[in-house]
Amino acid sequence: MSFSEVTGHYERHPYPHYPLLASVRSYDTYAMNLTALWARFNGELLPEREGKILLSGCGAFAPYPMALANPKAQITGVDLAQHNLKRARLHCLLHRRFNVELLQGDFLDPAVTPGPYHFIEAFGVLHHLDDPAAGMRALEQRLVPGGILRVMVYGRYARQEAESVRRAMRLLRVRDVAAIKRMLKKAASGSRLKNYVDAAWEAKNDSGLADLFLHPNVKTYRIDEFMELVGQSGLKPLLFTHLDALADPEQEIIRLRELDRRRETRANIICYLGRDCKGAADSSSDSSLMLNPALREAVSLFNLAAPVPIDRLGHDNPQLTWSVRRFLRRFVSPVKELSLTMAEKEQAERYLRELFLVRIRGG
């Protein structure tokens, strides 16, 4: 599959296609905050201004929420399609996000993305490459020691209905969204096609329909195939964050393997991978707890609402009531864990799991 085919697809159908004035709440970006992620997986504090982030195959929207999550980091977004980059640039400008450099090109080309980076996002990208393993290795090489790669690839059985329709459309030589819409108009109520499209959030606009059914290059993965892909690099799974994922990566692999055996896997695979990460800090007399910087606005005294950050780690989040926000505000600056009561430590543990708080050595 040539780059020109994939580039042409996204020039015709920039993806994802959100309204230019669509906004993101800062606290919903908590799982993108590099300072929190670095602390979670390395047990150290990475100053916000030192962070370097790469969005590989950034698409038409992702640079804006990433910049919102990391307003002081150096962010680079790379995409093959100029149309994607144009919309991404407009989203950033309209929301006053100026710490993003957007480049057209192949993110695997070291001349385009020399690195190194502390965090790389490859969300919905590797499964569109001719050689995903080479892509994984190239991204690994651009990470600093301790660096984190966030990956999403299509799950075999989560994607099976879409792939069945996509293959049928290729056989029928359906090549544009207008033809898909004509098919949908003729589809009987309750048909597999009609039911799938009605349930798929991606199918709410032309760009999503094209991504579902017209993309020229798509691969899907069982968990063992994904782990084989990871195994061809030096990366290690740190945390799975798709729907209902278990906190322990090894246990989650076992769970997914059994679901795959029964063909009951319903989620795409989302995973944080690490390059020589130092591991989470242990609770000790020297450890400190700190608020995820992306939640500062949410816990502010001036925020009278009780927000519920959207699920980013595979499970529903608690409502940030007044008492919860009062508790979390204590950790805007690092607080020695030794100074907390036993009840406070127990309360903090939940927010550590949710990534609302992070633990660092010292501080």
231, two tokens: 């195994």
pLDDT tens digits for 293-336? 999 999 987 776 788 999 999 999 989 999 999 999 999 999 99
Distance CA(149)–CA(143), nearest Å, equals: 8
pLDDT of residue 172: 84
Identify which of 219, 168, 215 has the alpha carbon closest to the alpha carbon of residue 191. Answer: 168
Using only C-alpha atoms, what is the Rg of the chain?
21
pLDDT of residue 2: 52
Distance CA(74)–CA(97), nearest Å, equals: 11
Q: Name the pTM for this structure.
A: 0.94
Residues of the chain with pLDDT under 70: 1-3, 304, 363
pLDDT of residue 254: 98
Q: What is the DSSP string of 88-105?
A: HHHHHHHTT--SEEEEES
How far is the CA of 53 from the CAs of 46, 49, 58, 107, 117, in angstroms? 13, 11, 11, 13, 6
pLDDT of residue 221: 98
Identify which of 127, 274, 290 has the alpha carbon closest to the alpha carbon of residue 211. Answer: 127
Q: Indicate the residue type of 79.
A: D
Distance CA(252)–CA(267), nearest Å, equals: 13
Distance CA(275)–CA(254), nearest Å, equals: 22
Distance CA(276)–CA(300), nearest Å, equals: 35
Secondary structure letter of residue 111 according to DSSP: T
pLDDT of residue 166: 86
Distance CA(260)–CA(19), nearest Å, equals: 36
Secondary structure element (H or E) that encloses residue 175, with its range: none
pLDDT of residue 363: 67
Asked if residues 109 and 82 have their Cβ atoms less than 8 Å apart, the reply is no
Q: Which residue carries 């349930």 as its tokens?
A: 199
Can you give the residue ranges of every domain in the chain?
Answer: 3-156+218-274, 160-213, 287-361
Fold (CATH) for 3-156+218-274? Rossmann fold (3.40.50)
